[in-house]
Amino acid sequence: MGSVPNSKPKLVHGSLGYVLEDVPHLTDYMPELPTYSNPLQDNPAYSVVKQYFVNIDDSVPEKIIAHKDSPRGVHFRRAGPRQRVYFESDEVLAAIVTCGGLCPGLNTVIRELVCGLNNMYGVKTVLGINGGYKGFYAQNTITLTPKNVNDIHKRGGTILGSSRGGHDTTKIVDSIQDRGINQVYIIGGDGTQRGAAKIFEEIRKRCLKVAVVGIPKTIDNDIPVIDKSFGFDTAVEEAQRAINAAHVEAESIENGIGVVKLMGRYSGFIAMFATLASRDVDCCLIPESPFYLEGPGGLYEFVEKRLKENGHVVLVIAEGAGQELFSGSLQTMDASGNKLLQDVGLWISQKLKDYFAKQTTLHINLKYIDPTYMIRAVPSNASDNVYCTLLAQSAVHGAMAGYTGYTSGLVNGRQTYIPFYRIGEGPNKVVITDRMWARLLSSTNQPSFLIDKSATEDKKEEVPLDQLNNLLGRVRHILKHTNVDNDAISEVGNIGSPGKLGVFVLDNGGNVGHLGDISNSRSSA
């Protein structure tokens, strides 16, 4: 067959501002494909379900809050079984691959994909690709059956193995074509989903009858559009165990400080939700909310005050928080293209020790707990197991119905099919101007660490004109090496560190970014 150009977003417009961001279908480039009756109509397990098949026009709104005169807005195609399918049961050769870091629920998704294909659609041949994307062209496969995946949901990790990187689109699609695979289920984070989009485009160019389906995976809960990612509930539950241990340690000794570092490279959802659930945390630090150590309103002052009041402090910090405070950041990347981070947990623990070592009346006992890999290596809990089942079965229904180039995800409590390009829009982050972050601040009574505007006004007159010009030049230099628009600058002001100016950015989503501290002393000009 001939090739076709890259696909474009499929947008369907309706009345009153309705927009459906549709997902690709095999018939977009293979219009003559035959259809078959869905075997579920003869499945006794589903005979009691009324209107089991999803209406072809059903969709789910991206935003559920609306006003009387507001447009209906963007919608996604509702997931679920269709009356007509584009694959016969004995025609299907499916493949499943897991990529990236571990996450609770991976084995559950694998199990439910295999059992869903077999039990609902009679598919007998399912291959597990061993070791991530590179397993496609390394010829590493495992035959998966309902019997040999029956109890894998009780185990952490992934029975297929995983890896970062190793994505060679041409080699992967060559392997898919050579083996006769016609359904590919790809479980991974935003980087993995971007790789899945490339695989879909190459398959589309070759006009192959292959459905490419993504299932979003990130323990940090930072994938956009979807309500949450599988494994997140388990991660929060396990994180509480570490927080509880830190609380016991801190409470059991004079001037005890418990520091817990949790996962969250760019997004602080685990730290925020674990803190809210625990109610034993005095301060929670996340990447979205810059903080500072010294001066009025700084972390040192808060910890000292809380120690004098309660005799102990529990501090939770996400791994991506405070990276801008390091004198030199790491420039190296992992195989997935993620920037390697400094260990902020060890760093802040040492900073607290150094600060209180100078105190003559307040001697601390600090315990540091890093449960990172313990949290992600456990089996999924009950709620995540149910969620994994819904994600996997929805993915299978979509592939059998001929949809391709999509991610199976939960939007406003409903299973949907989301185009790949929406998943790659950038990480979902905690909005610190939202009520959830306000609930956390209310729970911990910690400072917000936002700029004191009155102090900023006082400091402005102290900076000579030549220093301000130098500062603005350096700000432009910082912006040149970031993805921040010049117009996004919200405030440049003193943040409590003597002799330094902090550059902060507030974007339209309410996210605050600390671009760095710039010295305003005459000697540094």
Q: Any idea which residues carry the catalytic annotation?
A: 220
Is 374 part of any known ligand binding site?
yes
Side chain identity at 329, as an amino acid letter?
S
Is 265 part of any known ligand binding site?
yes
How many angstroms separate the CA atoms of 42 and 345, rounded?
57
Instruction: From residue 214, give the alpha-carbon distance in Å to each of 46, 129, 189, 199, 500.
Output: 26, 15, 9, 11, 46
Is 422 part of any known ligand binding site?
no
DSSP 393-439: HHHHHHHHTTB-SEEEEEETTEEEEEEHHHHTS------TTSHHHHH
How many angstroms separate the CA atoms of 158 and 128, rounded?
11
Task: Say how many C-beta atoms besides its own lie within 10 A of residue 390's C-beta.
Answer: 16
Estimate the share of the chain in helix, then strand, then coil, as percent rounded to the nearest 5. 35, 20, 45
Is 22 part of any known ligand binding site?
no
- The answer to whether 24 and 418 have CB atoms below 8 angstroms apart is no
| Strand pairing class (211-216; 183-188) | parallel
Is 170 part of any known ligand binding site?
no
Q: For residue 162, what is the enclosing H or E element? A: none
Is 376 part of any known ligand binding site?
yes
Is 375 part of any known ligand binding site?
yes
Is 164 part of any known ligand binding site?
yes
Side chain identity at 304, as an amino acid letter?
E
Is 219 part of any known ligand binding site?
yes
Is 101 part of any known ligand binding site?
yes
Is 400 part of any known ligand binding site?
no
Give strand pairing partners of 312: 256
Mapping DSSP to helix (H, G, I), strand (E, B) and coil, where does residue 479 land? helix
Is 499 part of any known ligand binding site?
no
- The answer to whether 207 and 3 have CB atoms below 8 angstroms apart is yes
How many angstroms separate the CA atoms of 128 and 161, rounded?
10
Is 137 part of any known ligand binding site?
no
Instruction: From residue 473, give the alpha-carbon distance in Å to each of 469, 479, 492, 493.
Output: 6, 10, 13, 15
Output the furthest CA–CA distance in the chain (Å, rounded). 83
Mapping DSSP to helix (H, G, I), strand (E, B) and coil, where does residue 523 land? helix
Is 29 part of any known ligand binding site?
no
Residues near 212 by beta carbon (within 8 Å), at least 6 away in sequence: 184, 186, 196, 199, 200, 203, 404, 405
Is 206 part of any known ligand binding site?
no
Is 161 part of any known ligand binding site?
no
Is 373 part of any known ligand binding site?
yes
Is 77 part of any known ligand binding site?
no
Cα distance from N-terminal residue to C-terminal residue, the chain: 66
Give strand pairing partners of 78: 416
Instruction: Indicate the annotated binding residues for substrate.
Output: 218-220, 263-265, 319, 373-376
Instruction: Indicate the annotated binding residues for ATP.
Output: 101, 164-165, 189-192
Instruction: Indicate the annotated binding residues for Mg(2+).
Output: 190
Instruction: Indicate the annotated binding residues.
Output: 101, 164-165, 189-192, 218-220, 263-265, 319, 373-376
